[in-house]
Each structure stands twice: as C-alpha cells, then as structure tokens.
Structure 1
Amino acid sequence: MPSIPRVVTAVVVALAVALIGTPALAERAPRPVLDTNFADPAVTVRGDGFVGFSTGSLVPSSHSDRPGASWQRAGSALVRLPSWAHADGDVWASDIARVQGWWVLYFAAPVRGIGEYGRCIGVARSRSAVTGFRPVGGQPLVCPSYVSTPPAEDQVPITLPGLPRAGVIDPSLVVVEGRPHLAYKTDRLPSSIRLLPLSASGLHAAAPSVELFRHDGVLENPVLIERPAGWVVLLSQGDFTRCSYRTVWRRSTDLLDWSAATSGVLLDQSSGLCGPGGADVTPLPRSRRLRLYFHAWTCHGRSTPCDPDIHRDRVRRRSQAIRPMYAAELDWVDGVPVVASFLSR
C-alpha cells in the first residue's frame, strides 16, 4: 500500500478536527437560560416564576417571572457574611426554601484553619425571596469540630474513620415525613453524604447528622427527591473543572440505607455540553412536574461548549470560561430520572 505524504495527512487531520470541534458541537448543544456566570444554581418557585442563587460573592441571585420568561440578575442575596466566616473566597453552592413564612438560605462560607478551600455551612433568612438575607446566630449550622469557629450546631465528628480534615459543603434542604432535613457533603476524598434533621423553622439542628453513604471519588451536590418507590438522589460526579464532570443518580427504597442502591447517569458530555453538573430540581409553578437546573462550561463569550483541556487554569482564563445556567424538563421512566427536553431562552 503506497504511503500517504505527511503534509496530506496533517491537512486531513486538521480538517477532521475542524469538522468535529467546538463550533459543530455548539450547533447541537443545548443553550443556556441565563447566559452569564451562574454556577451551582439553586432554584425554587416564587409565585408564577422562579428565584435562583449561585456560587459567588455574597450569593448572586436572579429571578424569572414565569416558566418561559427570561432570567434577570438581582444582586447579592446575603446582606453580609456571618461573623464566623472570612471574606477570602466565594460562598459556594447554596440552597433556598420557603419555611414558615420566611425565605431560608443555606450556604457554604469560607472559614480559617482547614486550608484555602475550607467551608462551613450557615443559614440566613429574609422576607424577600431575592435579597436581604441576614445570617442567623453567631455559629455555623454545620462545621467540623476542629475548625476555629464557635462550635457548630452539627459538629461532624473528628473521629470519623477514613475522612480527611476538611470542611462541609453543598447544603440541600429536603422534607422527610413533614420535617425539614439538610443533606450535605463532607469535602475532599472520600466523599461522604450526610443528613441532618432540622427544627420546624429550618434554622437549627434538631438531632445529630447521620452518614447516608460515601464514595472513593468525588460525589457532591446531593439533591434528594422522594418517589413512590423510595428515594432518588442526584449528585455531581468528578472534577468540576473538566468536561467529564456529570450529573448522576442513585436510587434506594430506604432513605437511611443506600447499601443496595442502583445508580446511573442523568447528564454528561453526550448531551453536547462540557461538564454538566451542580444540578438542582424544582417543581413548576402550580404543578407537580419537575424541572432541572444546572451549569456547564462555555467559552469565548458565546454559548460555545469549552474544549476538553478547560481544566487547565490558563486555558480557562484565555478562553473566558464561565458556567451559565441551563434548564431541562425532568421525566421518570421505570422510577429512574431522565431528561425529557432542554429549555432555551
């Protein structure tokens, strides 16, 4: 067989890359509903529309007046950081709920003593759904017992075998038998997901937290959903800086026993998106149907999915990488969550 000149081979390879590269991917990829940086969205219903919150300084917020309307930025949700936190870093992955006539915001704020990325969980409340949230109390709601803060209401035991000295992140409210509970993750590896019973107001711990399960790799951002046959938890898996970051699910008949849970993938790169994760689920206004909100990486100031090397810091800066918010209608097939369709602006 005659050899092919190297220059011709190079041209063919370059052409192939151009044809299957990012612009072609962008043509078939879903489009953001909020095309600005809005990572780890937490969304809930307000009237006929929605309110949303993201990772960032003092918890950036946004709102939409109805299910098909555009999203508008609305400033910072938190009036100030709690007294036990410090200002050297963003507030991560919040959650929002309406409890006893108040809007209650759960968040992970930076603390001293557990490294650059150490976070503990606090709670704030407001009469407004979008702004004016003031931290409750002078101590964290959840924080490891060895951190230099006032003792938290739920102190993750220092003696837990196999867990690193790290913080707690990704608070997510769930109602269990009519009572509010807070799911959260212990940071770093291995990942562990814990559940904390809360007072009726949602502002205080009602009993110590319990571990639901742990995982050798990164499993974070737990969102628990009660279903007729038991419980489903949505999680983000992997390195959030990579396009391989994805949204997965686990299903169990028992909320407190996940040893026999089944699992699967809800959303990954096959959707045409780079790193779809940080998901939240909310019902539609005046409906029991569920909608999924999540982020994914886009680059170059457009709704263009980023290239696979986005995990490199210099590439993210050069590519103007952000994580805008996407939305999809959620459906169920044989008790398993599936994406029925993607939404756009």
Structure 2
Amino acid sequence: MEQSRRPPLRRAAVAALVLGLVAAAPPGGAAADRGPGSGPPTGATTYTNPVSAGAADTYADPAVVRGQDGWWYAYGTTDPLREGEGARHLLPISRSRDLVSWEHVGDAFTEDTLPAWADADPARPAALWAPDVRYVDGEYRLYYVVTQTTTTPGADDSAIGVATAPTPTGPWTDAGDPVVDPRPGGGGPDDFRWTYDPHHVVARDGTQHLFYGSYYGGVWVTPLDATGTEAVGEPVQVAVDNKYEGAYVVHRDGYWYLFASSANCCAGPTTGYAVHVGRSQSLTGPYVDREGVPLLASRAGGTPVLAPNGNRWVGTGHNAVVTDLAGQDWIVYHSIDRTDPYLDGTDGINERPMLLDRLDWVDGWPVVRAGDGASEGRQPGPTTGGRAVTGFERGIRDPWQGDAWRWRAEDPQGGAHVVARRPGGLLTRHPLVGPVRVEADVRLDPGAAGGIAAGAGRGGGGGQGRRHDDVLAGAGTAGAGAG
C-alpha cells in the first residue's frame, strides 16, 4: 500500500478502517462486483498484458496508489489516450478493484486548469509528465513534471510541481510554485538540466524526501519541508549522468532499493528501455548493484530487474511497485508492442500501455517473474481480496462483531470504519486454515497505541496446517500497546 503517515483521529483511540484476512485465495477466483465504494473483490484473478487496455491505448510512466476507499488508482503521463483521439489528457486517472481491469475516471488537469506557473503559450504549451502519487497526512499528493515554466525566460526549463486533493480523483489544487525549481545547466539561457520523474519517499524517521532527475543532470534526492511542497537542504546525487531516469525507491529488509530506467524510452520498435536497481542502507546512498558497482560510477552497472525478453514487448521501463493484499509485490511499468509501436502512424506518439507483472525477490534482489521478464500470455493475477474482507460498509455483522467496537458511517477519506470503545477487543472469530495474512488500516489518537494479532486456536501444529481462530484489535495508552 503506497501510503505514508495517517492523520490522528480525535474522537477515539483506534479506528480500524479496513481489515482483510487473506487465506489461500485461489488464482482465478471470481470477483463479484459489489458496487462503488464497496471495497475490493474476493480472491485473485487472471490477466493478460497490457492491463490498461480497457482504459487507454497508451498509459506511460504509470504510478499506482490504493485509495482509502479500497479502489486502486493509476496515474499516467500527458498523452492522448486512444488512437485517433488527438486531444491530450493532462495526467489521466484510472481506477480498478483488482489491479488488472481499469477504467478511465478523469484527468488531474485540463487545458484551462494548468498550474499557473506552467507555460500555456499555444505555440508551445507545457506538458505534465511522470506523475507520482502518495497519501500523506490526510491528503493525496500528486507530484509531476512541468516541462515548460514561466519562472524563467528560458525554454525547456523543466521543474517539479505538486498538487493536493481530498480524494484520489481530485479536485487537484496546485501548490502555486515549483517544489524543485528549474536547474540551469551552464550552457546559456536555454540550457537546463532535466528535472524530471519525481518520486516521494518518507524516511524511517518520518522526514520526507523527493527523488528526481534524468539523463542530463543525473538522479538526485532532496529533503522536503513538512508540507511536502518545498525542497529544503542540500540535494544529493544518487545516480550518474547520462544513464538513468524514472527513479522509484522501496524499503525492504534493512535496505533502500533504487529502481531506475536506462536507454531511450521512445524509439518505437527499436526501444531498448530497461529497469535496473541498486541498494543502500541509507536513503541518500551510495546505491550499489549486486556486484558492488555504485550507480554513480561512469560504467556499466545496475542489477537488471526488467528488460525486453524477445516477445512482443520492448521498452519495458519507468516502473512503480505495488503490494497486493496477500503481500506479493507487483511491478507496473510501460512498454511498447513491437508490432504496434505508435499511437497514430509512424510519425506519431510512441504507444506505451501499462503492464503489470509479479516482482520476485531472489537472494535480496528484485527481479520480474524470477527473470522471465514481461509476460505476454495469461497470468495469475494479484490478490485484492480474501477469505474475509470488510470495509464495514454495513456496520458490524457476523463474523464482524463485538461489544468493544462502535460502527461509524462512511466518511470521504476512509469509508466506513469501526472505533474502539475500550483497550483490547475481539473483532472477529473466523476459522482460517493455511497461510494467513492480516492487514488493517488504523488511525490513532495522540498518545494512543494500537495493534492487531492473530491468535492460535484449536488444532495446534504450525506452518500450513495451523488454524487461526481469533483476530484481535485493540487500543491502549502510550507505552501499553495492545494485541
């Protein structure tokens, strides 16, 4: 779940917004459509790339977030979405219940609502590229590239902007000026380093950071202020010039992993775009690959994660990472079909739909489908529901019941939820056999502590045969904990 710190609730110690128990969900299980706001479907599904086909013919530079309403939302770079459409969509937004079937639900901006500091000159209007989306402190934040600004007299003076919204579909309000300003390259009034591809990260100590950059100028990370709207302090370079772009960072087992794409993104059927990775115990690096080669070294390096494998897909890159409700990581990225590489004719826009594939971790390093790369045929899909999943849309019913909880009707951010009446309480007694993953979203009053736990019931044993009967959730005073 791509989310950061949540706001405290003022009215009770703990609110459980969504609690999911995923137990041996079968691949290919049917997903019932329960209507808007009803949360994710039950079980897993299957899919065939490109997953964005239902929403768009092209969906470059994808970013995905799971909304507080239980839907998944995908954001793409500015392009027309369909063959022959002509009109561009400024950061299109799509949604899905299962990460594989998407529908277009709007755009973050229109030609009339461009950020005020984006150049709207009809002869050369700014584009908005490479979105990155996060839920931080009770609001959605959307970071993006503005390719042409009014903050300098020069041309192609790219910068990073941010907009906020109360919901994943908006309305989006731009911060009013760049988060990262245009960076002169030293070669004249129209020479600017490529300030592209933002990626927001919250460090383990709660501080916020933004990765950005591209081939001309390298990839950098800068601290942000508490609002996430201004770069502060000194930026640190984390990847060498003329090699990487599209940075995306995840934390796993004590390491920060920096995914970055190399080669030309947009050369039609000859595109060689690919994803590489380095890791570091520090968010600011140095990042090194599996052979110990720093990503700052001016030589071949970077551990391969995803590259063209000889099937129809070339130009596999500019990725994000999402985790399904069973704990499996997935990589979303754009690619080019070598048999249909352009949106409108051979001189048109590169057609780069969104693809999805399983991300495996082998000996501490990520790789797509254990090294097989982009998939072409039907694949087992993500688990976006489970044996027992609730968003509490209908209150607390069997097997979701207990006198320790009070139901709250749906709110704009978190949907329906339950509130703890007292420290500690049984939320559900539901038999589960096999591997069990318990996931819950909780918000705490200041000074409160909370937790969830799965209790072993009858049957004993361990591993695959262990039976889990009780799922507990609770709240207590600071230091006391629960569960």
How many angstroms apart in 2 are the aligned matches of 1:287 and 1:104? 26
**CA-to-partner distance for each residue in 1:143-169, whole Å, 9 max, x for gaps?**
1355xxxxxxxxxxx679xxx633411
Partner in structure 2 of residue 209 of structure 1: 235
| Structure number with larger C-alpha Rg | 2
Structure 1 position 205, deviation (Å) = 2.9
1:100 and 1:201 in contact (8 A); partners too: no
Q: Give unpaired runs (5+ residues) of structure 2.
A: 1-47, 79-88, 291-301, 382-483
> Does 2:359 align with 1:334?
no
Among residues 68, 74, 89, which one is paired with 1:52 in the alignment? Answer: 74
1:34 is paired with a residue of what secondary structure? helix
Q: Which amino acid aligns with 2:315?
A: G
Could you say what the CA RMSD is over the residues aligned between the two structures, in angstroms? 2.8
1:103 and 1:125 in contact (8 A); partners too: yes
Among residues 274, 281, 301, which one is paired with 2:314 in the alignment? Answer: 274
**CA-to-partner distance for each residue in 1:84-140, whole Å, 9 max, x for gaps?**
11131421101000011101000101225443x442111100011023111013x21
Alignment of 1:1-345 (within 5 A): 31-35=49-53, 36-46=57-67, 47-56=69-78, 57-68=89-100, 70-78=101-109, 80-87=113-120, 88-112=125-149, 113-115=153-155, 117-137=156-176, 139-144=177-182, 146=184, 165-177=192-204, 178-185=206-213, 187-189=214-216, 191-215=217-241, 217-242=242-267, 243-258=271-286, 260-262=288-290, 263-270=302-309, 272=311, 273-284=313-324, 286-298=325-337, 304=339, 306=341, 315-317=346-348, 321-340=350-369, 342=375
Structure 1 position 316, deviation (Å) = 4.7
Structure with more helix by fraction: 1
Q: Which amino acid aligns with 2:109?
A: L
How many angstroms apart in 1 are the aligned matches of 2:287 and 2:91? 35
User: What TM-score, normalized to structure 2?
Assistant: 0.54
How many angstroms apart in 1 are the aligned matches of 2:253 and 2:207? 18
How many angstroms apart in 1 are the aligned matches of 2:103 and 2:129? 20
How many angstroms apart in 1 are the aligned matches of 2:306 and 2:317? 8
How many angstroms apart in 2 are the aligned matches of 1:336 and 1:287? 20
In structure 2, relative to structure 1, the CA distance for the partners of 1:213 and 1:245 (3 Å cut) is: closer
Structure 1 position 283, deviation (Å) = 2.1
* TM superposition outliers: structure 1 runs of 4+ over 4 Å: 341-345
Q: Report percent identity of matched pairs.
A: 27
How many angstroms apart in 2 are the aligned matches of 1:168 and 1:206? 16
In structure 2, relative to structure 1, the CA distance for the partners of 1:51 and 1:271 (3 Å cut) is: farther
**CA-to-partner distance for each residue in 1:174-230, whole Å, 9 max, x for gaps?**
111222211101x443x4111121233323334332222323x33100001112142
Structure 1 position 298, deviation (Å) = 2.8
Q: Which amino acid aligns with 1:60?
A: P
How many angstroms apart in 2 are the aligned matches of 1:193 and 1:321? 24
Q: How many residues align?
A: 285
Q: Give unpaired runs (5+ residues) of structure 1.
A: 1-29, 147-157
More contact order relative to length (CA 8 Å, sep ≥ 6): 2
1:181 and 1:196 in contact (8 A); partners too: yes
2:289 and 2:303 in contact (8 A); partners too: no
2:119 is paired with a residue of what secondary structure? coil
Structure 1 position 287, deviation (Å) = 4.8
Structure 1 position 61, deviation (Å) = 0.8
Q: Which amino acid aligns with 1:237?
A: S
**CA-to-partner distance for each residue in 1:4-56, whole Å, 9 max, x for gaps?**
xxxxxxxxxxxxxxxxxxxxxxxxxx620012211000111124331011111
1:59 is paired with a residue of what secondary structure? strand
**CA-to-partner distance for each residue in 1:236-279, whole Å, 9 max, x for gaps?**
10111132111111223333332644422111111621101111
How many angstroms apart in 2 are the aligned matches of 1:145 and 1:229? 33
In structure 2, relative to structure 1, the CA distance for the partners of 1:128 and 1:226 (3 Å cut) is: same
In structure 2, relative to structure 1, the CA distance for the partners of 1:32 and 1:316 (3 Å cut) is: farther
1:114 and 1:166 in contact (8 A); partners too: no
1:239 is paired with a residue of what secondary structure? coil
How many angstroms apart in 1 are the aligned matches of 2:109 and 2:222? 23
1:43 and 1:51 in contact (8 A); partners too: yes
How many angstroms apart in 1 are the aligned matches of 2:138 and 2:356? 27
Partner in structure 1 of residue 18 of structure 2: none
2:140 and 2:164 in contact (8 A); partners too: yes
